[in-house]
Amino acid sequence: MDETNLRDLLEKIRDREIELNVGIEILRKLPFDDLGYAKIDTHRCMRKGVPEVIFCQGKTIQQIQGIVSKIAETHSNVLASRADHSVYEAIRNVVPACRYHEMARMVVINPKEVQRAGNIAVVTAGTSDIPVAEEAAITAETLGNAVNRFYDVGVAGIHRLLNYFDELFRANVVVVVAGMEGALASVVGGLVSAPVIGVPTSVGYGASFGGVAALLSMLNSCASGVSVVNIDNGFGAGYQAGLINKIAVGQLNSGSVHGKD
């Protein structure tokens, strides 16, 4: 339940369109809905302004459909992350109004256009890092942030990055997605004045240890203003970038970010 739904309910109780006992029963379920296998945090939208994100990996199709059906009853722009095409088809079977971003592996349920503000730059070292970058970009855009993408501009050809220096310098926050040795986060951190969020990816040969090398490289960055999320955590980076961007444009309020389960 979001603020609009709550206001509508309270007004109906006030105007006696809904009996008091019925209204009390609805409010009793406001904190969460217990589906047995999941407890839907229906109060989260009141705290955060938007509903929780559905992390699909590890859930059964039936569990995902049940959670989606419940949240979609009263919310728009619900994000389902780490969703392959079969999960998308399953979601579409219960809520036809949805949009699939295949590269990002994300479904937007009950999509609704939002005004996008500010300036977030999402940068990748290589083309192989784009899926994680798209997860960050789609997350940020769904939360109402303007995103500019700069892909395949890694340190192996640093002139490609420098070609976009002016655009990067205008960003309120920069998300840098890189595998291998993860050096791009430090390079960008040394160029721009905005906060930089490093996203190490599991892209790389054996000694990259599934992204651990890039993670440690970013954590040990000598550039000031670089923070780091976990390996392949595009969602976390997009979420955090949205917070920073909304502060920069003075629009941080209860309607800015998702929580995630």
Q: Please report the DSSP string for the chain in residue order.
A: --HHHHHHHHHHHHTTSS-HHHHHHHHHTSS-EE-SS-EE-TTHHHHHBSPPBEE-TT--HHHHHHHHHHHHTT-SSEEEES--HHHHHHHHHH---EEEETTTTEEEES------EEEEEEEESSGGGHHHHHHHHHHHHHTTEEEEEE-S--GGGHHHHHTTHHHHHT-SEEEEEE-TT-THHHHHHTT-SS-EEEEE-S-S-GGGGGGHHHHHHHHT--STTEEE--TT-HHHHHHHHHHHHHHHTT--STTSB--B-
Residue at 220 is within a domain: yes
121 and 102 fall within a common domain:
no
Q: Taking the model in full, what pTM does it have?
A: 0.81
Q: What is the pLDDT of residue 58?
A: 92
134 and 103 fall within a common domain:
no
102 and 132 fall within a common domain:
no
Residue at 2 is within a domain: no
Residue at 9 is within a domain: no
66 and 123 fall within a common domain:
no
Q: How confident is the model at residue 258 (pLDDT cuts 50, 70, 90)?
A: very low
122 and 244 fall within a common domain:
yes
160 and 98 fall within a common domain:
no
Over residues 119-143, the mean pLDDT reads 95
Q: How confident is the model at residue 257 (pLDDT cuts 50, 70, 90)?
A: very low
122 and 87 fall within a common domain:
no
Domain that holds residue 154: 117-248
pLDDT above 70 coverage of the chain, percent = 84
